[in-house]
Structure 1
Amino acid sequence: MIQGAIFDMDGVLVNNTPVHIRAFEIFCDRYGVRDWKAKLGNAYGMGNDDIMRLILPKELIRTKGLAALADEKEAIYREIYAPEIVPTPGLTELLGQLHEAGVRCAVGSSGCRANVDFVLDACRIGRFFDARISGDMVTRCKPDPEIYLTAASALGLDPASCLVFEDAKAGIEAARRAGIGRIVALATTLPREELETESGLRCIVSDFRDTTNIHQILE
């Protein structure tokens, strides 16, 4: 029986991939970086340091520093997203059902803590989460399993008794490597056909409105 639910954030708690792309467009334009978009497609689910190394010139990273560049980009993201942020459809209802069923919940995101707090506060869902694990709290981000192992530990649960909601290949791999008991994929960031190539998924849903019967995924 599943006792804990761990939610990725980007593309799961909020369907925000287009906003991150807009933020990267503004950010990269400031520094004259033109070839970032194709590279970003391979970075979904990764931590900021890995993303910055993937898309930015080495000289810019040496000059500005990874932490400062990441902070600058994420500040842009929060500024442009604040007026329009909403939770993924069906999320609040699902969180209420999990709470009533006694299932403890955590966030397990490669994103920074400032973004996690921003999303939970802006969407008014913070009360549902017993733990918040972000990329700046761990040594290695997804696809390494550390985030999900840390989240399960924070809930006081074995990973095998936890369910993970993910949208990215790096996150799905991290959940598998962590020994998570159930993985539900959301087709928010990637096409359903691409997610269907991933092994070990309980199911693929368009959003949380497809999870109205939580007992089908908990039992």
Structure 2
Amino acid sequence: MIKGAIFDMDGTLVDNSPVHLRAFEIFCDCYGVHGWKEKLGQAFGMGNDDIMRLIMPEEVIREKGLAALAEEKESLYREIYAPEIEPVAGLVPLLEKLRAAGIRCAVGSSGYKPNVDFVLEKCNIGPYFDVRISGDMVTRCKPDPEIYRKAAAELGLTPAECVVFEDAKAGIESARRAGAGRIVALATTHDRKTLSEETAADWIIDDFRDITDLDALLR
């Protein structure tokens, strides 16, 4: 029986991959970095440190530091996204139903805390979440299972008692390795075919409006 729900953030609470790409384009242009888009395609769902190591030259990392580079890029992202941010379709009605059913909710994101707080506050969904776990609160980000294990523990539950909502292959792997009771994949970052063939998701949805039977989700 499902007693908790853990939501990834990027691509799950908000369909923000295009905004991150716009921010990365501006950010990488500032440093004269090319070929970043191909590398970034491998990194959806990973933490900022891993992403920066993947796309930025070592000399830039040594000069600026991973934390400063991440904050520079994420500040750009928040500035671009603030005027247009909105939750994924059907999210708020689902959160209402989960709360009415006594299901406690958590965010389990590889993103860092300022971004998690930004999304929850700008979308006016903060009160629905009892727990917020971000990438800077763990030692290993997705696809490692630590984030989902920690989120479940903070809810006072086991991962097997939780449904996880994810969009990224790394995040779905993380949830499966954590032992999540059910994994629902959103076809925001990847299409349905990719999610079906390349992940271990139990359900695949376009957005939260596809969840019409809450009992089936929670049983």
TM bin (shorter chain): over 0.9
Structure-1 residue corresponding to 2:29:
29
Contact 2:173-2:199 within 8 A present in 1 as well: no
Please state if 1:156 is matched with 2:156.
Answer: yes
Percent of aligned pairs sharing the same letter: 70
Please report the TM-score for the alignment, with normalisation by the length of structure 1. 0.99
Structure-2 residue corresponding to 1:7:
7
Note the alpha carbon deviations across 1:40-74, whole angstroms, 9 max, x for none. 00000000000000011111101100000000000
Moved over 4 A (4+): none
Structure-1 residue corresponding to 2:48:
48
Q: Distance in 2 between matches of 1:20 and 1:215?
A: 35
Mapping 1:15-94, distance limit 5 Å: 15-94=15-94
Q: Distance in 2 between matches of 1:38 and 1:130?
A: 36
Mapping 1:100-179, distance limit 5 Å: 100-179=100-179
Q: Distance in 1 between matches of 2:195 and 2:10?
A: 16
Structure-2 residue corresponding to 1:195:
195
Contact 1:108-1:147 within 8 A present in 2 as well: yes
Contact 1:88-1:208 within 8 A present in 2 as well: yes
Q: In structure 2, what residue type is equivalent to 1:75?
A: S
Q: Distance in 2 between matches of 1:211 and 1:19?
A: 26
Structure 1 regions of 5+ residues with no counterpart? none
Note the alpha carbon deviations across 1:159-216, whole angstroms, 9 max, x for none. 1000000000100000011011000000000011100024542210000010122111
3-state SS in 2 of match to 1:197: helix
Structure 2 regions of 5+ residues with no counterpart? none
Q: Distance in 2 between matches of 1:158 and 1:146?
A: 13
Q: In structure 1, what residue type is equivalent to 2:101?
A: A
Contact 1:94-1:212 within 8 A present in 2 as well: no
Q: Distance in 2 between matches of 1:21 and 1:50?
A: 16
Q: How many residues in Structure 1 have an aligned counterpart in Structure 2?
A: 219
Change (3 A) 1:29 1:199: closer
Q: Distance in 2 between matches of 1:213 and 1:55?
A: 42
Q: In structure 2, what residue type is equivalent to 1:40?
A: L
Cα-Cα RMSD: 0.7
Q: Distance in 2 between matches of 1:200 and 1:78?
A: 32
Note the alpha carbon deviations across 1:103-139, whole angstroms, 9 max, x for none. 0000000000000000000000000000000000000
Please state if 1:212 is matched with 2:212.
Answer: yes
Contact 2:169-2:199 within 8 A present in 1 as well: no
Note the alpha carbon deviations across 1:62-115, whole angstroms, 9 max, x for none. 110000000000000000000000000000000000000000000000000000
